[in-house]
């Protein structure tokens, strides 16, 4: 006969806890800045798809190498990382700045190649 001290404690549903069960989940507050800029990217994407309007000439695709779709995908990835990780916004910013400082020289070398002609 097995004593009760060897058996795992049951959770509120009457099941034994799993290995990954770490207790109740704490809901993190959303960062309104990410939501604002993701919404701005969506409005900009919509403006890019309206040909012949004034808004078409004011969007970011006319001033850089990327358009709002890349920004939307990037910020969505940041939102997912914040939602499902144990890190904070400051830790994410530190990691992003470290990674961008690693990739910046590569981006400069790739974009500064001589043009053919």
Domains in the chain: how many in total?
1
Query: Is residue 23 one of the residues assigned to a domain?
Result: no
Could you tell me if residue 98 is inside a domain?
yes
DSSP letter for each residue of 5-57: TTSPPP-TTS-PPPTT--SSPPPPPP-HHHHHHHHHHHHHHHHHTSTTSGGGG
For residue 110, is it within any domain? no
- 0.75 exceeded by pTM: no
Contact 45, 73 (CB under 8 A): no
In this structure, is residue 46 part of a structural domain?
A: yes
pLDDT in tens, 44-89: 888 888 888 887 777 777 777 677 888 888 888 888 877 777 777 7
Residue 2 inside a domain? The answer is: no
Q: Is residue 114, in this structure, part of any structural domain at all?
A: no
Domain that holds residue 36: 32-105
């Amino acid at each position: 006969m097995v004593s009760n001290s060897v058996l795992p404690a049951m959770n509120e549903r009457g099941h034994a806890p799993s290995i990954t069960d770490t207790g109740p989940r704490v809901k993190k507050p959303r960062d309104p800045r990410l939501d604002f800029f993701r919404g701005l990217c969506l409005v900009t994407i919509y403006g890019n798809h309206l040909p012949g309007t004034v808004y078409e000439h004011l969007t970011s695709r006319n001033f850089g190498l990327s358009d709002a779709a890349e920004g939307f995908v990037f910020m969505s990835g940041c939102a997912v990382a914040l939602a499902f990780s144990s890190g904070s916004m400051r830790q994410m910013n530190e990691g992003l700045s470290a990674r961008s400082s690693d990739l910046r020289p590569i981006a400069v070398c790739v974009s500064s190649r001589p043009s053919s002609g």
